[in-house]
Amino acid sequence: MSEVNRGQADVIQSLVSLLNSNQSLLGLPTVRFDELSTSKDSACLTVTETPTAERVADVTGTALRGSLTLTLIYRVMSNNIGNKDLDYISVLDKSYEFIRQRYAFVENPNFFIDNVTEKSGGTLEHVYSGGIKDFCVKFVVSYQRCITLF
């Protein structure tokens, strides 16, 4: 696995862990990476756009500076009540705010997150037959990963 892919995987895994360790506070089901259930309410974090990454060198060593555009998807299997949509959007917005406010506390010796910015707030993204709905919030995570130290 390349340094770029390893850095991205570490960031995603840490954010999934952050959300899952606070799931009762946020009101989300267990979050997985790129995997939504087809039989029950579920949530997943997925990469939305092609990630960017560049090597940066200075007197301390070489680092990888990258950016990931992520989408947090909350799939609700049976929701025919329109006014409940706002509740699900609120859960996503609260989850994004939670990440934005706590990204600095993500502890990992391999990388650190510089910034989290919202790309689009919580929205109803897709409606399927049988009342199945996907609610989404999109955000960008900027991170750095140390490759070598001089």
Quote the pTM value: 0.88
DSSP state of 82: G
Q: Does the pLDDT of residue 21 top 90, yes or no?
A: yes
> Which has the higher per-residue pLDDT, 83 or 101?
101
CATH architecture, domain defined by 3-149: 2-Layer Sandwich (3.30)
Taking alpha carbons only, the member of 89, 78, 94, 75 closest to residue 29 is 75
For 88-117, what is each residue's pLDDT tens digit? 999 999 999 999 999 888 877 778 898 999
pLDDT the model gives residue 61: 81
- Mean pLDDT rounded to a whole number for the chain: 88
Question: Where do the structural domains in the chain lie, given as residue ranges?
Answer: 3-149
For residue 103, CA distances in Å to 84, 108, 127 come to 29, 11, 31
For residue 77, CA distances in Å to 15, 133, 139, 145 come to 24, 7, 24, 38
What's the CA gap between 13 and 130, in Å, rounded?
Answer: 32
What's the CA gap between 47 and 8, in Å, rounded?
Answer: 10
What's the CA gap between 16 and 20, in Å, rounded?
Answer: 6
pLDDT the model gives residue 29: 94
Q: Grade residue 69 by pLDDT with cuts at 50, 70 and 90.
A: very high
Q: Grade residue 83 by pLDDT with cuts at 50, 70 and 90.
A: low
> Which has the higher per-residue pLDDT, 59 or 43?
43
